[in-house]
Amino acid sequence: MRALLRVSQGIDAFTEFIGQIVIWMVPLVLSVGVWNVFNRYIGRAIGRSLGSNVFIEMQWYIFSLIFLLGSAYALKHGEHVRVDVFYGNWSPKRKALVDFLGSLLFLFPFCGLLIYFSWPYVEGSWRIQENSPDPSGLLRYPLKTFIMVSPALLIIQGISEAIKNLAVLTGHREPDAEEKLDTAL
């Protein structure tokens, strides 16, 4: 179990690294949004169009990346939606069992299906090197790749969460021992 917990720790570090990149995308998307608004209102005031499809598309591309890359980070930190009416009052072992079974029965199959069914869509986009249909728009095919990267990252983080939940269930790890795990290994 110690070896699996080390694997989990490595996965968590990787997810944390990706999450830190995503965190810095938030001020970036806000800056692009402010730029778009500024250009729109100043352009109206002077009677010229100052905006560009590049910045409009950049804003929603960055937002899409925040959502797609941030999902594994949210899973690591327990920020996904739960029905806490029941879950909040359960014992740590029962929570670990539900989370473990949820990963096996729902998270992994859903992510696998998402990768499987998005493959033709993403592959087709790469094959034609899809661009935005808007004038001065951005490339679409690199962004569409993240439709498959996101569930892959969720699977990887789900493996880490399953290892930690299994360790709780077998008594090899205390619940909420994330901080202690770094010093124990």
Mean pLDDT by 10 residues, the chain (185 residues): 93 97 96 90 80 86 95 91 77 91 95 97 95 87 95 97 94 68 46
Query: In this structure, are residues 63 and 9 in contact, taking their beta carbons and an 8 Å threshold?
Result: no
Beta bridge pairs of residue 139: 131
Q: What is the pLDDT of residue 105?
A: 95
Amino acid letter for position 56: I
Helix 2-46 to helix 53-76 angle (10° resolution) is: 160
Q: What is the pLDDT of residue 178?
A: 53
Sequence ranges of the domains in the chain: 2-184
Q: What is the pLDDT of residue 39?
A: 86
Query: In this structure, are residues 176 and 92 in contact, taking their beta carbons and an 8 Å threshold?
Result: yes
Helix (H) or strand (E) holding 52: none
